[in-house]
Amino acid sequence: MRDYLFILLGAALVNNVVLVRFLGLCPFMGVSSKIDSALGMGMATTFVLTLAVSASWLLEHYVLIPLDIQFLRILAFILVIAALVQFTEMFVRKASPSLYQALGIYLPLITTNCAVFGMALLNVQQKHDFLSSLLYGFGSALGFTLVMALFAGIRERLALANVPAAFTGAPIAFITAGLLALAFMGFAGLPVR
Amino acid sequence: MSDYRGIFADGLWNNNVVLTQMLALCPLMAVTTTATNGLGMGLATTGVLLASNLVIASLRDFVAQEVRIPVFVLLIASLVTLADMAINAWLHELYKVLGLFIPLIVVNCCVLGRAESFASRQQVLASAADGLAMGLGYTLALVLIGSCREVLGSATLFAHASLLLGDGFAFLETTLIQDYKGFLLMLLPPGGFLVLGFLLAGKRAMEQAAKRSKVKEEFHCSVQ
């Protein structure tokens, strides 16, 4: 039980996807100017990331390893993620049109979110069992959503601040992200890996 | 000939992947703790970009419009698999340093972006030139940021170049200050964000100064 909690916390805070592992920076910079859209992106990514990490684990252990074709991992995983995103989009559209309205434009963007592909690869390298993989994916997605929401909140304030001309927009956003990353380094002290 | 000059000017500066379009940031931040890592990653990406533009431009007439994106992704994934194996075999030290970020070239938005916006519409030679130019522009940005972080963080430049890239690169290794105590922050994740922020501000200040000297009009910055 304790181990599973540690995997969840470690993936969400200590090894945060965005600020420590540097995955998923494109949506982090691109979709973070409003809290609403940041949360929408976070939710969509949480869904896909958790599914993708589990599905890629199953693929690795039941197809790639028995057939001894691990060198095709990159191809296989990218196919699974693309199919999953497509499937999620169709499923959400049927099951909950209101959620589809909210997530709509963010869903296709997730295929090229390197957090999804990167976490799927990392998870296989770390030799987790299935339940740990599920938690690992879910935890990192939670960390992603948390950081997206925090950063969007800061940027909403930043839009009103008086920033030197050369720093407006992207440069000040990067410096803010740097300070946020500095704050997250405090979590490195937690006794979790 | 002049449009090739335009392609290279676009790739290296005007439309630089990192400094202007702000794409492909993940590998940029993650591997640039030293200039050597940046150079290695940049060259690997350039190789994939050149090959993918070449392949996609030659196949563009055989791929139906509706399924082009999945086909491009699969082509790029195969090329990245080849690059991954090649680097693992011949530059194993570099492979250990870059690790996860070589397979991640698949989801590097600049590769699919160039395939879609340039290679699927242009001649083979022009596409190859575009891939090379974009890749070199990306390498330039990687080396620039890697150098800043390495100089500030440990006062060396291209450390371990001979170990990672082969003996031919040994001449690049320099130590700027002996007995430097080190500035760890620059090598840790926050340093990447801070350096890129200041570099982007610097590029914008340069462009504004150039524009101001050219035109006396009020210049309103519309880049966000």
- Asked if residue A58 has pLDDT above 90, the reply is yes
Averaged pLDDT, A96-104: 75
Q: Which residues contact B190 (CB under 8 A, 6 or more apart)?
A: A178, A179, A181, A182, A185
Q: Which residues contact A191 (CB under 8 A, 6 or more apart)?
A: none
- Chain B, residues 80-109, CB within 8 A of chain A, namely 80-81, 84-85, 100, 103-104, 106-109
Q: How far apart are CA B153 and CA B47, in angstroms?
A: 29
Per-residue pLDDT, B221: 46
CA distance A159 to chain B (A): 11
Mean pLDDT of chain B: 84
Which H/E stretch holds residue B157?
A: strand B156-157
Per-residue pLDDT, A148: 92
Q: Which residues contact A150 (CB under 8 A, 6 or more apart)?
A: A180
Range name among A29-38, B51-60, B67-76 with the lowest pLDDT average: A29-38
Q: Chain B: residue nearest A112 by CA?
A: B107
**Residue for token pair 């105590």:** B181
CB distance A174–B196 less than 8 Å?
yes
Highest mean pLDDT among A69-83, A134-148, B199-213 belongs to A134-148
Per-residue pLDDT, B1: 45
Instruction: Report whether B55 contacts B75 (CB < 8 A).
Output: yes
Averaged pLDDT, A129-147: 93
CA distance A71 to chain B (A): 7
Q: DSSP label at A112?
A: G
Per-residue pLDDT, A127: 84
Give per-residue pLDDT as tens, B98-150.
888 888 888 887 888 888 888 888 888 889 999 999 999 999 999 999 999 98
- Kindly tell me the sign of the dihedral angle through the C-alpha atoms of A63, A65, A67, A70: positive
Averaged pLDDT, B54-58: 91
Residue B37 CA: distances (Å) to CA of A93, B95, B167, B194: 44, 10, 15, 19
Q: How far apart are CA A20 and CA B96, in angstroms?
A: 19
Strands (E), A15-118: none
CA distance A18 to chain B (A): 9
Percentage above 90 pLDDT, chain B: 23
SS3 B47: helix
Residues of A in contact with B201 (CB under 8 A): 164, 166-167, 171-172
Q: How far apart are CA A112 and CA A24, in angstroms?
A: 9
- Asked if residue A132 has pLDDT above 80, the reply is yes
Range name among A178-187, B67-76, B100-109, B175-184 with the lowest pLDDT average: B175-184
- Write the residue in B29, B81, B112 that is nearest to A74 by C-beta: B81
Q: How far apart are CA A159 and CA A35, in angstroms?
A: 13
Residue B205 CA: distances (Å) to CA of A114, B15, B201, B210: 31, 17, 6, 9
- Asked if residue B65 has pLDDT above 60, the reply is yes
Q: How far apart are CA B193 and CA A181, in angstroms?
A: 8
Averaged pLDDT, B167-175: 74
Averaged pLDDT, B3-10: 83
Per-residue pLDDT, B206: 87
**Residue for token pair 């945060």:** A16
Q: Chain A: residue nearest B103 by CA?
A: A74
More confident residue, A162 or A1: A162
Band (pLDDT 50/70/90 cuts) for residue A133 is very high
Q: How far apart are CA B43 and CA B31, in angstroms?
A: 13
pTM comes to: 0.85
Averaged pLDDT, A120-141: 90
Give per-residue pLDDT as tens, B179-198.
777 788 888 888 889 999 99
- Asked if residue B216 has pLDDT above 70, the reply is no
- Asked if residue B8 has pLDDT above 70, the reply is yes
Tokens of A78: 């990218």
ipTM for the complex shown: 0.83
Range name among A77-91, A93-107, B63-77 with the lowest pLDDT average: A93-107
Averaged pLDDT, B165-182: 74
Residues of B in contact with A20 (CB under 8 A): 189
Per-residue pLDDT, B224: 40
